[in-house]
Each structure stands twice: as C-alpha cells, then as structure tokens.
Structure 1
C-alpha cells in the first residue's frame, strides 16, 4: 500500500530528527525526579535567621524617615545582624537605615556580608572568596545588580555560592553544583538555549508537534500491521 510506504518513511525520518531531543527530555526529566526540588533550591545549604524586634527599643519615627528620605514608597522594620534597621524603598531604590540613629548603612560592606553569610550558611565548607558583582551571571537570572557573591569550598553539594543584596542585606540566591546541573539540563528540557526561562518558545512547540507526529505515525503503522496480519 502506497500510503503505508510513505507513513513508514516519514516515521523513520521523524524518529531521526526527534530521537536525540526525546533522549534529552528523558535524561533531564529523570534528574528532576531523582534530585529533590528543595535540594536544588539550596534549602539545606543556607537559611535566613529570624530575629525578634525589641518592643521597648527607642527608634526614630516613620515621620522622621519621610522627612530625611523624601519619596519613600514603603517602610519595613527588621533585624539585621542583631541591629534594628528600616528597609525603605524609594521607587526602585532600596536602602537600609539604622532604626536608632537614622544613619543610612547601605550599601553593606564586605565585613557585613561576611557576617550575614556566616549567620546563613549551614554547610561544611569555608569561604573561598568574596566577589562584588556588577554584571549578573547566568545563574542569578534577572536579579538586580550589584550583588555580593560569597563562594565556598564545600564538596557537598559543591562550589556553593550565596548571593546577597548590598542594599537590603537579603539572601537573594543559593547556587551549587546540583543546581547548576539542573539549570543545564533544564535548558535542554525546555529548549531555551539563551535565557533558560521561556517554556513556551517556538522551538519547543515545533519539537513537541514533531514528537506527536512520530507517535501518531507509529500508532498508525502498528494498527496497519495488525490489519495486514489479520487479512493474511
């Protein structure tokens, strides 16, 4: 039958085209299933210590903050390294202000970041280097720079890095070798080879449709072969 000939040929060539990508989908999917998501996120690597506010502390008022920092859009009182501070936002700008003296203490210096990293890190390594980053690496995505990067010499999970904001003091990202492998495989899984974020890109759609065509042509050939046997 002429139709069966062309379906069989199309099935073969589609299989050659989609086979490598299908293998990558299976390998990356297996990694995502085997390695727990909380490990990928680095929850075991670092935690943010919680410190309670002192209800009887003497602080400057929010009215004083508005007077000394015009254009404030939000104010948050928190504890940073045992000291109460205000985190204020002026449009997109974030600053830390000492809640007692009213002095601006951001951007945080190297020693403050070391103290924050020591308080957050729960791994078994030690600090290998500290880096002031003005160009965001691939592994922190679109997070605003500059950032402090604290690199560790740990073996498990390996080459860990904690990223801190110098303006808020927040731990904004935890990265390690298992996360980097996940990110690498995720790139192949969603077929976004640049930003590694678009799960609805054209290349992935084409590959998915091609894979569907491969499956449907294979199902048709299987049904056709059973029909031929029955007729024989």
Structure 2
C-alpha cells in the first residue's frame, strides 16, 4: 500500500470512528436545538399561567425605610444593604430588605410598610393563598412541600430558599414556588419546562449543575466535532486525488 493509500485509509477510519463516537451527542444537540427553536418560551416559563401582579394600593402613610432598618439592626447584624423594595403581600404593603453578608450570602427580611415592624417569613397558608391567587383559573392544590435546600438537578435550583413548592392538579403539571423570606411567587415550573431543562442538560453536557457552559466535557466534544468535520473535508479532498480502494 503506497503513501496515498495509507493516508486515505487512516483518514477514512479516523472519520468513521469519530463519527460513531460523537454521533449520539450530535443527535442530542440537534434535538435540543429543534426543541428550543420551536418552543414558545412564554409557555415554557409559565407566563401564560401567571396573572399580572396587582398594582400596589397604599391608603395610609408609610413608615420611613430608616425606621425599618433601625428595627432590623436591633435583631440582626447588617453588613451591607443591597436593596429595599416596597411590595404587595396579599393586598398589604410591605418592605422587603435584602442584605448581603460577605461577598455572596444574601438574606431577605420583611417589614410592615405602615408600622415599620419586622414580620416573620410567609406561612404555609399565606404561600398557598399567594400561589392560588396568581395562578390563572382555579386548579386544585394536590401537594405542598417545604424546601430548605435543593441540588443541582432540582427544577428550583439556585433560587431563593426556603420556599414552598405548591403542586397543582393541572394538565401542564405545574408547580408554583413561593419564597418565604422574599414574600414572593418566584417560579412557575411545568412539564414543558422540565423537558426543556432535560434537553438543556444534554445540550450543555453539564451533568452536575446543567448550566456550566465551560465544562471540560463540552469543550472536548466541541473539539472532536471540529476534528470530525475537518476529517470529512480532508477525506473528500483525498477522494478526488486518490484512486478508490
């Protein structure tokens, strides 16, 4: 076998085995891309199921934010204040204070916007009422879970905790998440979102947290994909120059 034949044979075998090795991942990338591009993101995010937030009505004079911070400082050490927001909780105005400890740890506190007094995190009854009021229609609640921690694969990962996960009897199999210390409905998760999330994991090849686009496995397969494409072009060029074997 002369040099041209050996080179042609080597490139052909390399291209074949690279194609088999990464072909399944290429299929996952293609399926994921099709699902992402053909899906309505408003539906996946559950926006169509969520009522617009009510306008905040304030008929009484509000306590000054400084008063809230003074009450907070008595009970909790304050490192840095990230934000103070005026929010609505079941028709009543409250301040939501976000403080930061160190560089990354965030903590939320709620205070009555009229009296300035701190209040506890949302109760289960309050969370249920908020989730039901914000859900379009009147679906039945089937189960309520209290979350104090989540792992990298949970659909509520990297979201404010603690929270109540409120499951509804609905064709979309929707779960509404209410963060107790934030005093807010934070996430709607339905079946389409879960399919999206699974395909996203296959797309990013991050099987730990799903959202790390710089993981080693994705980089390796991306390089192998380029090698497969390059070997295909090279094989095409060799096929024009060398006799068929």
With structure 1 as the length reference, what TM-score do the two structures score?
A: 0.89
For the aligned residue pairs, the C-alpha RMSD in angstroms reads: 2.0
| Structure 2 partner of 1:60 | 63
Query: CA separation in 2, counterparts of 1:216 and 1:153?
Result: 52
| Structure 1 partner of 2:176 | 162
| Structure 2 partner of 1:191 | 205
Query: CA separation in 2, counterparts of 1:220 and 1:124?
Result: 62
| Structure 2 partner of 1:5 | 9
In the alignment, is the contact (CA less than 8 A) between 2:200 and 2:210 conserved in 1? Answer: yes
Which one has the bigger strand percentage? 2
**CA deviation after TM superposition for structure 1 residue 228, in Å:** 4.0
Match of 2:224 among 194, 210, 225: 210
Matched, 1:79 2:78: no
With structure 2 as the length reference, what TM-score do the two structures score?
A: 0.85
| Structure 2 partner of 1:141 | 157
Query: CA separation in 2, counterparts of 1:167 and 1:34?
Result: 36
Matched, 1:151 2:167: yes
**CA deviation after TM superposition for structure 1 residue 2, in Å:** 1.4
Size of the aligned set, in residue pairs, is 227
**CA deviation after TM superposition for structure 1 residue 28, in Å:** 1.3
In the alignment, is the contact (CA less than 8 A) between 1:48 and 1:171 conserved in 2? Answer: no
Query: CA separation in 2, counterparts of 1:12 and 1:93?
Result: 54
**CA deviation after TM superposition for structure 1 residue 123, in Å:** 5.2
**CA deviation after TM superposition for structure 1 residue 217, in Å:** 0.9
What is the SS of the residue equivalent to 1:107? coil
| Structure 1 residue ranges without an equivalent (≥5) | none
Query: CA separation in 2, counterparts of 1:95 and 1:48?
Result: 24
What is the SS of the residue equivalent to 1:77? strand
| Structure 2 residue ranges without an equivalent (≥5) | 101-105
